[in-house]
Structure 1
Amino acid sequence: MEALRVVINIIFILVCVALTVLVLMQEGKSAGLGSISGAAETYWGRNKGRSMEGMLVKITKILAVFFMLLAVVLNLNVF
């Protein structure tokens, strides 16, 4: 059982590092001066879910859920 706990801890650390990197790779939510003139409604603004930024957001959400689940499992003291 101790080996399983070590493996889960290693996975937890890898998820933490990946989550940190993904959050730092994302752009800020403020659009700058472009949002004042209405330039935010461009092709890239409408299709953000299919862009690299949209994919980063989806992966971040999945890793955040995985992070929380691993934190709960590690805190159960079953191992």
Structure 2
Amino acid sequence: MTTAQIALSVIMIIASLFLIVVVLLQEGAQQGLGAIEGGADTFFGKGKASASDRIFARLTSIVGVIFVIAAIVLNIVH
């Protein structure tokens, strides 16, 4: 195993663990029984994501892209 393969493997492990944590920290789309009745959608809150939801969504996208690129490069190098 070359140093490039080891480095890419470490990057993939870190990215996968970080991706798991970020996905688990996100809130679900439905929150309790209020979502069934439509109580979760208020006039002011409808369609607006909180700041933490946007940050987690962006982090998920970025780390996911890093993971996929590392997997492709590792496959090419191997």
TM-score (norm. length: structure 2): 0.77
Give the residue type in structure 2 aligned to 1:61.
S
Q: 2:67 maps to what in 1?
A: 67
Query: What's the C-alpha RMSD, in Å, of the aligned pairs?
Result: 2.1
| Whole-angstrom distance in 1 between the partners of 2:69 and 2:37 | 43
CA apart distance, 1:35: 3.2
Give, in whole Å, the separation in 2 of the partners of 1:61 and 1:46: 20
User: d(CA) in 2 for partners of 1:14 and 1:45?
Assistant: 35
Q: When you count helix as a share of all residues, which structure comes out higher?
A: 1
Structure 1 gap ranges (5+): none
Moved over 6 A (4+): none
The residue that corresponds to 2:8 in the other structure is 8
2:19 aligned partner: 19
- Residue 52 (structure 1) shift: 0.9
Matched residues, percent identical?
34
